[in-house]
Every structure is written in structure tokens, then in C-alpha cells.
Amino acid sequence: MAIVYQHRRLDTNEVFYVGIGSNKKRAYSKYKRTKLWHNVVSKAGYVVEITHDSVLWEEACSIEKYLISFYGRRDLELGSLVNMTDGGDGRLGSIASEETRLKMGRSLKGKNTWTKEYIKKGVVNVKRELTPEYKKKISDSLKGRPGTWIGRKHSEETIQKMILNRSSPDNPRIGLKRSEETKSIMAERAKNRQKVQCPYCHKVGDPGPFKHWHFDNCKNKNDVLHS
């Protein structure tokens, strides 16, 4: 089942966007909206209207196409909508085929997708700069949480795939070496990095990866506590 919704400007009461979704959350979400959509929202504000609820997905697609045609797209100078398509092209619960995944992988192989050109094209999401306060909140929320890979292992099939990918001549990192300047920077950072000591086995190491295998996760913890 699906819904059809529209967004209406608060300043002129004009409908500026029509969309569909699998539930009402999509109608109120600002995730994956276009820059033009955000421009309208920041300037005028908006209200959400659910025009159709609990309809079949195919029916929702047809209604979306009709409403977009009725109001008209702004980029085509036909109306007020900031929609960039004629509608009806949404996919519900679809999963990319293995062939499609391979094509996507080949298209990006050997390319550095973190260059400014790719960021400008919107291929990757640029992370916003985090304030020290926000970083502390993230840090506090993760304290005491076990690592997601503790007790898990890659399957033998996955390991073999990783080995083949790393040794493949198509791997863009094969033959690359760090410059002397980079090595110097890394060495200086390692030198100035504060070390920590595990209270159970008394080993000393870097605070990042070291905490995954020591402190509360140290294999000597139970022996020390029960000795």
C-alpha cells in the first residue's frame, strides 16, 4: 500500500511538490529532497497534505503523474512544482540485481569519489562540520557499547573475494606508496598520541583500536576479577 501527498507553501498557499511513499513518514521527511525544494521551504515554509491514503502502489504512481501534470513543473515552465520528473517512476522495495551492482561497481572503479568534482555533482554526501559539543554527545552515546564485529568473522567465501579484489590488477591502490611527507605526518601523530594502559593485562597502546581488545573486553579481565 502507498500514499500520495503534496507540499503547500505557507506564504502563497501554492502546491509546490507532489510525491508518493510507502507510509506517511515519507511525506514529512526532508531526506533526499532537491536543493530547489529546500530553497522553497527555507523561504516560505510548508504544510503537508495527504491526498490519498492506503492505495495500491501502481494507483499511487498514476495519481502522482496526474497531479504533477495538473499543477505543472517549474523547470519546464508549466507550473509551480519543483518536481524534476513527471512522476510514476518510484520503486517500492526494489533491490538492485547482481548485474546492476556490477555495472555500478565498474563505473566507479579506479575513480576517487572524494574529489571536489564528485562532491559538487552530488555523488557523495559532504558531512557537515561537527561542533565539539556534538562530537562529545556522539562519544558519550557510544561509550560502553560493544563493537559491532566482536564475536563475528568473515566467511571463507568473503575472505577469498577480499583477497582477489586486493590482488587484482584493476585495484587502483596497487603500486601506490605513501610520500615521505605523509609518512612523516603519520609518525609525528603516532608519537604525540596519548597512550593508554589496560588495567587487566597492563599492556600499553593507542586508545582507538586498543579499547576493542582490552579494558572491558580484555581476555584477562575475568582472571583478575576472580583472583
Give the angle 24-97-152 at the CA atoms, nearest 5°: 85
Q: What is the pLDDT of residues 28-52, one digit of tens each?
A: 998 889 999 999 999 999 999 999 9
Cell 552515546 found at = 141
pLDDT of residue 125: 45
**Side chain identity at residue 16, one-letter code:** F
Instruction: Report percent pLDDT > 70 for the chain.
Output: 79
Q: What is the pLDDT of residues 165-224, one digit of tens each?
A: 777 777 766 777 888 888 898 888 877 877 888 888 888 887 777 777 788 888 888 887
Nearest to 209 by CA among 140, 159, 147: 147
pLDDT of residue 6: 94
State which of 80-94, 97-111, 139-153 shows the largest mean pLDDT: 80-94
pLDDT of residue 97: 67
pLDDT of residue 147: 58
pLDDT of residue 108: 64
Phi, psi dihedral angles at 123 (to 5 degrees): -70, -35
pLDDT of residue 93: 52
pLDDT of residue 191: 79
Average pLDDT, the chain: 79
CA atoms within 13 A on the CB side of 88: 10
pLDDT of residue 124: 43
pLDDT higher than threshold 60 for residue 21: yes
Higher-pLDDT residue of 114 and 57 is: 57
Nearest to 204 by CA among 194, 216, 191, 219: 194
DSSP sequence for 192-204: HSPPEE-TTT--E
110 band by pLDDT with thresholds 50, 70 and 90: low
Instruction: Quote the CA–CA distance of 203 and 94 in Å, as a whole number.
Output: 49
